[in-house]
Amino acid sequence: MPSSIPASVTAELQDAHGRRKGPVILRSLLRDRYATASIIFLLIVLAFAILGPSLLAEQARALNLKGRNAPPFSLDAGWMFILGGDALGRSLLARIIVASQNTILISATAVLLSVLVGGLLGLVAGYRGGWLGDVLLRLADAIMTFPSMLLAMIVLFVFEPGVSNVIFVLAVSRIPIFMRTVRAEVLELKQRMFVVAARATGASTSRVLFFHIAPMVLPTIINLAALEMAFVMLVESGLSFLGIGIQPPEVTWGLMVADGRNYLGSAWWLAFWPGLAIMLTAMSLNLLTNWLRVVTDPVERWRLETEAR
């Protein structure tokens, strides 16, 4: 057993008979066709995001005269033009795969940042409470009631709109959600017997927070993170579409839709495919969350396991 996993998590993964729960979870995943399909789709997108630019950068930039404004579903210019080509004769498929890197990188990093910062603040606000908790909560409320698009607009108006600033803006606008969720869970958890017992045996505050409370909050956070990633991706695409997000020559799916908008009458596929890619990825994340919610809910999981036996 790898020692980096906290004891409470590995204990979670074993049922009453000491059997590993991995196969049970896998079986429940395979039974949910939607969840299986979305995991496979997300893994493909992830592979594209990681490997795409190094494998296909050439094809995404190459100008193919035969592929100029090539309509989709025709193999005249080769299978790279299955989704069509743009006005310069670049393969749309290759461009979508290359653009997946920025799209995924931005939303994943933004969500990771807001999980870390929001989670930490939530732990502190929930466990310590007091004036610090109050101030943090008020601040979170102020950010949450404010439309995230406006926040992004102001900040990107002041600072140069680039990859790192877009990530920063998106992270800041999502931190309150994670903070509030973690805080609410911690408020309830810290009254529970196992926390009181840990404290009574002399565990330090940080030990109680990170080894006893944090693992209990983790399932909720993972669910929320998948859901938020879909949302963040949509906001980033919207910002890039409006011209205040990612700037050319960098490319994301949202930017590709914006570019394709000018050719709407003559070459619909330029705006259509990147948008479809955004939608399918967001949908997969949402479907995955539905399944995760069932698996991480102890009551529902118990039902699954008794059925599986």
- Residues forming contacts to other proteins in the complex (CB under 8 A) are 138, 141-142, 144-150, 153-158, 230, 234-235, 237-238, 241-244, 254, 257-258, 261, 264-265, 268, 271-272, 275, 278-279, 282-283, 286-287
From the number of C-beta atoms within 10 Å of its C-beta (0-12, 13-18, 19+), residue 151 rates as middle
Return the structure tokens found at 119: 């989670």
Return the structure tokens found at 215: 């693992």
From the number of C-beta atoms within 10 Å of its C-beta (0-12, 13-18, 19+), residue 115 rates as buried
Phi (first) and psi of residue 6, to 5 degrees: -60, 150
DSSP reduced 3-state for 24: helix
Q: Least distance (Å) from other proteins to the CB of residue 101?
A: 18
- How far is residue 238's CA from residue 251's CA, in Å, rounded to a whole number? 13
H helix runs in 190-296, sequence order: 193-200, 205-207, 214-242, 253-261, 269-296
**117 versus 279: smaller Cβ distance to other proteins:** 279
- How far is residue 20's CA from residue 228's CA, in Å, rounded to a whole number? 30
Q: Least distance (Å) from other proteins to the CB of residue 228?
A: 13
Q: Least distance (Å) from other proteins to the CB of residue 207?
A: 35
**23 versus 243: smaller Cβ distance to other proteins:** 243
Return the structure tokens found at 297: 């809910």
DSSP reduced 3-state for 20: strand
Return the structure tokens found at 115: 């999980």
Q: Least distance (Å) from other proteins to the CB of residue 279?
A: 5
HSE-CB at 119 with a 13 A cutoff on CA atoms is: 20
Q: Least distance (Å) from other proteins to the CB of residue 298?
A: 18
**116 versus 149: smaller Cβ distance to other proteins:** 149
**121 versus 271: smaller Cβ distance to other proteins:** 271
**221 versus 244: smaller Cβ distance to other proteins:** 244
Q: Least distance (Å) from other proteins to the CB of residue 75?
A: 25
Describe the crossing of helices 163-189 and 92-128 by its angle, rounded to 10 degrees.
40
**95 versus 190: smaller Cβ distance to other proteins:** 95
**46 versus 279: smaller Cβ distance to other proteins:** 279
Encode 210-235: b = buried (16+ Cβ within 10 Å), e = exposed: ebbbbbbbbbbbbbbbbbbbbbbbbb
**108 versus 279: smaller Cβ distance to other proteins:** 279
Q: Least distance (Å) from other proteins to the CB of residue 236?
A: 10
